[in-house]
Amino acid sequence: MSSATELQSAPVRLGRLARLIPSASKKVLTENLRELEAGGIVVRRDLSGTVRHIEYDFSEAMRPAMISILDCLVGLGDFHLSEATEHSELVCASLHVAEKSAVGRKRRAEK
């Protein structure tokens, strides 16, 4: 998701996208970007001079929709992260209480 959120603010170079998604091979990343370009979602700009310089950006037609979708996904992720954190804290608290209770029973049994 971070690669798409990077595109919200400015065009992104291919090398930057590759660093954002280290688990994707350059071949797979390029194939996916070409599919997005063919679908009119991103625009590829070849600004090469003496050094190869390729940038990707959302197409003007798709930018508002993509930003809206990404904002919703970020909100959904934040919600689930907070829910998971809250659940984790409850589980840890329950385990702590259970552990104290077990230690208390063990001590009483030893007496």
Residues 8 and 55 placed together within one structural domain of the fold: yes
Average pLDDT over residues 94-105: 63
DSSP single-letter state for residue 85: H
pLDDT value at residue 68: 85
| Full residue range of the structural domain in which residue 12 is found | 1-59
Q: What is the pLDDT of residue 100?
A: 65
Do both 33 and 11 map to the same domain?
yes
**What's the rounded mean pLDDT across residues 11-17?**
84
Judged by average pLDDT, the poorest of 32-46, 50-64, 80-94 is 80-94
Looking at the structure, do residues 32 and 69 belong to the same domain, yes or no? no
Q: Indicate if 15 and 69 belong to the same structural domain.
A: no
Domain of 51, CATH number, reads 1.10.10.10
Q: How many domains does the chain have?
A: 2
Torsion from C-alpha of 40, 30, 12, 9, nearest 10 degrees? 40
Dihedrals phi, psi of 52, to nearest 5 degrees: -65, 130
For the chain, percent of residues with pLDDT exceeding 90: 3
| Closest to 26 measured CA to CA, from 43, 14, 40 | 14
State both tokens at 101.
């209770």
Tens-digit pLDDT profile for residues 56-85: 888 888 888 888 888 888 888 888 777 777
Domain shared by 40 and 69, yes or no: no
